[in-house]
A and B are shown apart, each in its own frame.
Chain A
Amino acid sequence: MSLFVQSIINGLNQGAVYALVALGYTMVYGILRMINFAHSDFIMVGSYTLFYTIPLMVAAGMPAWLSVVVAIAVCVVVGVTVEQVAYKPVRGAGSMSALITALAMSLFLENLALVLFGANPKSVPEIFSLPTLKVLGITLPSKYLVTLAIGILIMFGLHVFIKKTTLGKAMRAVPEDKQASTLVGINVNRVITTTFAIGSGLAAVAALMYCSTYPRCTTEMGTMLGIKSFIAAVLGGIGSIPGAMIGGIVIGLLEIFIKVYLAPGWYEAITYSILIVVLLVKPAGIMGKNVGEKV
């Protein structure tokens, strides 16, 4: 029983990270219809920023988690730069060019990090120095609660932002019809850049959450995390914010449960099979609406 509860706690923690990363994918995909492969590498950028700024923060007598502010700033700059330099010129060239450019940017960031920081993994210092609670044989690190709370808070905030604010409305309008959005006075380029900025900032927060559980950063840490989170986004319904949350949590729980109860070596294979099954059975995902392809 305690193992079961423990697995749920671990799964939720894992799922919250997936959900936050999935949000980044979902927002960009929702507006541009492209898989931003570089998103996973924004997380890597965020993690390295944390690695380098936490000691400085601690030395300055400030709490370690404040470095996330620096990480968000760095990620936003990187994200917007990538969008402006690489994605914007190929925006009209079709999905194939967009996909290759995204892939190229991902490779670029990964290999730039390899040149700058070296291949050795770096271990990130403790971010939240919070006590670990023990209840009836269940270990519950309080940082998990913080992680989950941050995740839910961001999710909720973003949902309100998209539904209620003018900019949020513009974000929903652009993917519907770019030309019509321009006609009614929406600056499409600015909306897209803002989306990238928000997505990249989320990646920095995801990096904080990831590093508080797995305090290690490598140059390719983002790749698999990114693909799994994309699967979470697809499972939840791409373009849908609550969907990303649900998808992330489901994938996180499934992975932990399969790891603990079924087949430890196979849990990743199961995650990937979920993607194939979802795409074949219900491509719109759990929360997504079914949009037929236009001729």
Chain B
Amino acid sequence: MSKKMKISYLINLIGVILLYLAMTFVFDNGVLGAKTTYITGIAIIAMMTIIIVCSLNLLTGYMGEFSLGHAGFMSTGAFSSAAVTIAMLEAHIALPTLLYFIIAILVGGLFSALMGFVVGIPALRLRGDYLAIVTVAFAEIVRVAFTNFPITGGGKTLSGIPKVSDYHYIFWVTVICVTLMYMYIRSRFGRAVIAIREDYIAAAASGINVTRYKVMTFVLSAFFAGVAGGIYSHYMTAIIPTFFNFMKSSEFLTMVILGGSGSLTGSIIGAAVLASLPEALRDFSIYRMLIYSVVLVIVMIFKPSGIFGTWEFSLPRIIFKLFGKKEAKGGAAK
């Protein structure tokens, strides 16, 4: 590891910590007055959306395959984690909230990853449109299943989930998730995945195991979507299967595409802005999807790669530029 890379990592770490301190300061001291709780809620939803949109970008932006069923992965994560923590509560297992939270998101992530594996297998033979429609079908199967299983509420709202998500934990989980995804993309695996997107036949010819990488990316993407689901259910405390519908999946895809497929920065900003916008402008919420769809068509016609394209934000790069040093490579997102 070169010295410059170490410095880059350090700068990123400091940046993240500063962001965290700023957020804690604002939320804990009630700088925003009476609206603090409300704004905190928006921030939590935004961070959760960031995780799921980034995970979808792994598939759409980097692997070039669609998932129109990401709400299904999120649903799997939300319900499986809720089922486990409710069972733990009923068994009177007294644990600190942090542990509860970690167990919840891990369970959610793992169950969802399992689902990702199951969906990843048809993905071996299918591409493009057909795969997109298979993911829709999958998300619908998940919805029907959770509507029928008694352990997931049997079609009614599943309530009584312990409220263990709070913004301190969620912030760090978001940071970790985004960093992991960023590292995955920048790694050997990530480059192989991008090669598959560009031309899978050429990738296979150069010795990349297309099958393995496709399934691996599906599993990873599903894992993070499941983590987001776990966060969601333990923040809302009551969830219903019909919430995770086709509309929700399309909304996530909209965020990925608008932000820029192939840019995690784009996903983060897209998710944060588009998730908090309807909350900020309540009267506008009915026109929200209408405007998104128009913007989506315009973006598709004029700049198909999305607003940020494949550009990534890098804090070290800016700092090195400011202080006149040579441009640094690497540096985590956010």
Contacts and interface: CB of A to CB of B under 8 A. Distances in A.
Contacts of A115: 286-287, 290
B264 to A, nearest CB: 18
B300 interface: yes
Contact of B125 (A34, A110, A114, A283): A283
A97 interface: yes
B302 to A, nearest CB: 9
B126 interface: yes
A31 to B, nearest CB: 14
A90 B290 contact: no
A197 B132 CA distance: 25
B107 interface: no
Interface in A244-295: 265-266, 268-269, 272-273, 275-276, 279-280, 283, 295
B153 interface: no
Contact of B289 (A111, A275, A283): A111
A265 B144 contact: yes
Interface stretch (B179-187, B265-273, B291-299): B291-299
Given A108-B297, A227-B140, A103 B133 contact: no
A162 B42 CA distance: 54
A73 interface: no
Interface in A96-126: 96-97, 99-101, 103-108, 110-112, 114-115
Given A95-B129, A115-B287, A269-B145, A103 B250 contact: yes
A214 to B, nearest CB: 19
B136 interface: yes
B253 interface: yes
B138 A276 contact: yes
Interface in A35-73: 35
If over half of A's interface residues share one DSSP class (helix, strand or loop), that class is named, otherwise mixed; here it is helix
B122 to A, nearest CB: 6
A265 B296 contact: no
A167 interface: no
A279 B290 contact: no
Given A108-B297, A265-B147, A280-B125, A272 B246 contact: no
Contacts of A103: 68, 250, 253, 296
Contacts of B140: 224, 227, 268-269, 272
A230 interface: yes
A34 B247 contact: no
Contacts of B296: 100-101, 103-104, 107
A13 to B, nearest CB: 23
A223 B129 contact: no
Interface string A142-162: 000000000000000000000
A107 B155 CA distance: 26
Q: Pick from A100, A108, A273 the residue with the most CB of B within 10 Å.
A: A100
A268 B145 CA distance: 10
Contacts, number: 123
Interface residues of B, number: 42
A99 B133 CA distance: 11
Contacts of A86: 297, 301
B122 A90 contact: no
A100 B141 CA distance: 23
A183 interface: no
A99 B129 contact: yes
Q: Pick from B137, B148, B257, B289 the residue with the most CB of A within 10 Å.
A: B137
Contacts of A104: 254, 292-294, 296-297, 300
B297 A101 contact: yes
A90 B303 CA distance: 11
Given A97-B304, A265-B147, A272-B140, A279 B122 contact: yes
A95 B4 CA distance: 41
Contact of A34 (B129, B145, B254): B129
Contacts of A99: 66, 128-129, 132
Interface string B250-286: 1001100100000000000000000000000000001
Interface of B: 64, 66, 68, 122, 125-126, 128-130, 132-134, 136-138, 140-141, 144-145, 147-148, 155, 201, 246-247, 250, 253-254, 257, 286-290, 292-294, 296-297, 300-301, 304
Given A104-B292, A280-B122, 6 more contacts: A86-B301, A111-B288, A224-B246, A265-B144, A265-B148, A279-B122
30 contacts: A85-B297, A86-B297, A86-B301, A90-B300, A90-B304, A93-B300, A99-B132, A100-B253, A100-B257, A100-B296, A103-B250, A103-B253, A104-B254, A104-B292, A104-B297, A104-B300, A107-B247, A107-B254, A111-B287, A115-B287, A115-B290, A223-B246, A224-B246, A227-B140, A231-B133, A272-B138, A272-B140, A275-B133, A276-B137, A279-B130
Q: Which 5 A-B pairs have the closest CB atoms?
A: A272-B137, A108-B293, A104-B296, A269-B144, A107-B293
Interface of A: 33-35, 85-86, 89-90, 93, 95-97, 99-101, 103-108, 110-112, 114-115, 220, 223-224, 227, 230-231, 234, 265-266, 268-269, 272-273, 275-276, 279-280, 283, 295
